[in-house]
Amino acid sequence: MIRAIQRAAACVAVLIATAGQVQAGIINSADVIIGGNSFSTFTDDSTSLVWLDLDNFWDVTSTYNSIDSLLAGSGFHLATLPELNILQASIPAVPANFSSEVVILGGNYVGNPHPGTDRELIWGIYNDGNSLDGISYSWKYDGYTNWNFATNALSANQSLRSANSNNQDLGAWVVADSVSAVPEPSSLALFGIGACVAGIGATRRRRCEKQQEATA
């Protein structure tokens, strides 16, 4: 009995620790095809929503309106402010985390190939609810301890590359319309705990049955 309890406790501890590790932050995920082109992505583990990398839109033609048109019917859309806030809660502005996050998100960093000059910056446009009065964006540098926002700062038809044109590294916060039909990490952990406990219970039942057969 004691051995079974110890086995169950160890199993639960491992599964809980694993769940905690995979739920934190963001991870790279599989490319998606939109409009016949391949786009790199990452996943927010807190929501399991897939996002397009910011540097997918480092080209000469991308504007707010062109991106919005491209995404129509694709299963993705320019993120709203509430959606962006949720993502940013998963990747708060912590300088120590910037170097790992910027690679996954597709931000600008020294060594990342892009048309402009190098700098340590993550930034992108989002849907603020009214593109007619200007486009908003959100950013953080590697040394920042909070996310920043600029509202109604660009034109909806302005090329993203023209913003701070020396750097040419403004991206777009684009998120999937819904979560893919896969279990969330926490669900997998709970399933694993249940399976572990059930397995221990089955082992005990078989042991009791054998003991009863031996004494019959």
At 159-185, the pLDDT tens digits run 998 887 777 899 999 999 999 744 444
Residue 94, pLDDT score? 98
pLDDT tens-digit series, residues 43-92: 999 999 999 999 999 988 999 999 999 999 999 999 999 999 999 999 99
pLDDT at 208 over 50: no
Q: Are 124 and 172 in contact (CB under 8 A)?
A: yes
Could you tell me the pLDDT band of residue 216, with boundaries at 50, 70 and 90?
low
| Contact (CB, 8 A) for 142 and 95 | yes
Check: CB of residue 115 under 8 Å from CB of residue 49: no
pTM of the model: 0.74
